[in-house]
Amino acid sequence: MTSDRSAPAPTVAVQRKLRAARTHCATRGAQFTAQRAEVLELLLLRGGQAKAYDLQDDMQARHGRIAPTTVYRALEFLQAHHLVHKVDAANTFVVCDHAEHDHPALLLICPRCGAVEERHDTGPAEPFLAHLRGQGYAPQAIEVKALCAGCRAG
């Protein structure tokens, strides 16, 4: 072992995430099939954020021609089990960092560079969410368009 202080290689982080997802699904009695795992893997390999057709391209690069529904069905499953969020404002999918608890996602989308950040500090949004629940809604996500620090400075 070398004493390398840099972050673990992407593949190591990806494998760790996939293991966690497998355990997460097993706990919930959900079938984490090879195809579903692969779509999550490809999303992770793209830095945790991608458009569906990019994932289809990646999948086809490995297996040849596949139907778009293959990717969409896998993404639907991953969303249903809180492993992935759909970001409507950016038309992308992002990996969820805290799938272990059900939560409405709080997503910041930079309209300039397209970066998406999922916030864990949903506390400030709670009064609003509680208000909506009181009116009979079941909030699923809050998408906020906000220039990221990099774009704001640039």
Closest alpha carbon to 108 in 140, 144, 84 = 144
Residue owning tokens 């390999």: 45
String of contacts with Zn ion for each residue 75-114, x by CB under 5 A: ---------------------x--------x----x-xx-
Of 27-35, 37-45, 86-94, 146-154, which segment contacts Zn ion by CB under 5 A? 146-154
Q: Using an 8 Å Cβ cutoff, are 101 and 94 in contact? A: no
Q: Does residue 151 belong to the site contacting Zn ion (CB under 5 A)? A: yes
Q: Using an 8 Å Cβ cutoff, are 14 and 45 in contact? A: yes
Query: Binder to Zn ion among 14, 42, 107, 148 (CB under 5 A)?
Result: 148
Nearer to Zn ion by C-beta: 62 or 101? 101
Q: Using an 8 Å Cβ cutoff, are 142 and 125 in contact? A: yes
Q: Using an 8 Å Cβ cutoff, are 57 and 65 in contact? A: no
CB of 52 to Zn ion, least distance (A): 18
Q: Pairing between strand 105-109 and 141-145?
A: parallel
CB of 25 to Zn ion, least distance (A): 15
Positions in 114-133 near Zn ion (CB under 5 A)? 115
Contact residues for Zn ion (CB under 5 A)? 96, 105, 110, 112-113, 115, 148, 151
